[in-house]
Structure 1
Amino acid sequence: MASSKHASLHDVELAALSAAGDRPAFGELVRRHGSAVRGLLRRMGAQASLADDLAQDAFLAAFESIAEFRGEGTFSAWVRRIAARLYVKRWRKDGRLEFAQDLSDDSQAEIGSGGEGAAASRIDLDEALKGLGETERMCISLCYGAGLSHAEAAEALNAPLGTVKSHVKRGLDKLRSRLAPPEGGSGRQVGQSSGADAHG
């Protein structure tokens, strides 16, 4: 269990202590970021029990390679990328990949994963994601939840880059339609900057 000393430290400091063998420091990182990792896995399509298992595996993998984390990005983004790749491996092993299109089309929209007043929007987004095709949801989650570039997502999925871009584009179009405010109302606009660290 992390101590109050650990609770006041920055993630980079906790990672450095973890690399030196301080398990309570790593426990604090798990406490801080566990729900975000599980949330990403759920959005990617994992059932609750599988999300819990893969999140645990992701943190174990992160602990084993913690010396590789040097603070260039956030720890949260780093461990989410590990978790996303683990889920992709499971997804591919289950033979669930169905890439039918190979259309190149850039898409630079962003889907937020947190921030001020994000709870209601996140619930709406989670529901909208459930309405996407499995492959579209996977591609969008990799690019805008785990922060992978289109090229990195294509590599992880072992799919053509143009195909991934096409699935992202179509999925984002559907999300924009589903999350659009009613006439005269105000609502969440998918495609506006909201703190995600994805890039194409």
Structure 2
Amino acid sequence: MPGNSLSFASQHDVELCAYAAAGERRAFGELVRRHGSAVRHLLRRMGAQAAEADDVAQDAFLAAFERISEFRGEGTFAGWVKRIAARLYLRRLQREKRLAALAAEEGREEADAAASLGNGGDAEHRMDLEEAMKVLSAPERLCVSMCYGAGLSHGEAAEALNLPLGTVKSHVKRGLDKLRARLAPGGKDESAGDAVVEGRRGNG
């Protein structure tokens, strides 16, 4: 194994990856030195500001180091780490945009959800919905709001929240069941809740 950074500098990327997989951090440091600027440049082209590009690139290389044993030399290391960085940036971008919109427009989204539940613009029903939303757990409320207030598919919500698709679908199903029970005591307005489920069937 090379004993100093100069000898690492003469190694091929695939060899450096093998050394890194064996625990040699200096070998991975050479990979970062070689490809860090290219990864940051890619992120800047995708729209990241300089500081954000630095942060995401650092996260990408950290993820690459943790998963270095997965790199088999099929394709280039540079291409592999760039794909990791791009996915991380897209997830960050989507999560920040979705959650910021949800926080800023929560009232409007819940009004939209009321309309989706078949209640139109009736203020009394919107108040009922706001009260009903309080019985949901935080994850259920977030997922229902994103899927029925912001109009995202289950898949889009899962990507924005960095959650498994099945988890989002479960939160939405449980949330809608609770809303139906809360909004339709004794069977009142039960058809409205069913209409929502029917209208969004196949979502995701």
Higher helix share: 2
Larger Rg: 2
- The bucket for the TM-score relative to the shorter chain is 0.3 to 0.5
The structure with higher relative contact order (CA 8 Å, sep 6+) is: 1
State the TM-score, normalized to the length of structure 1.
0.47
TM-score by length of 2: 0.46
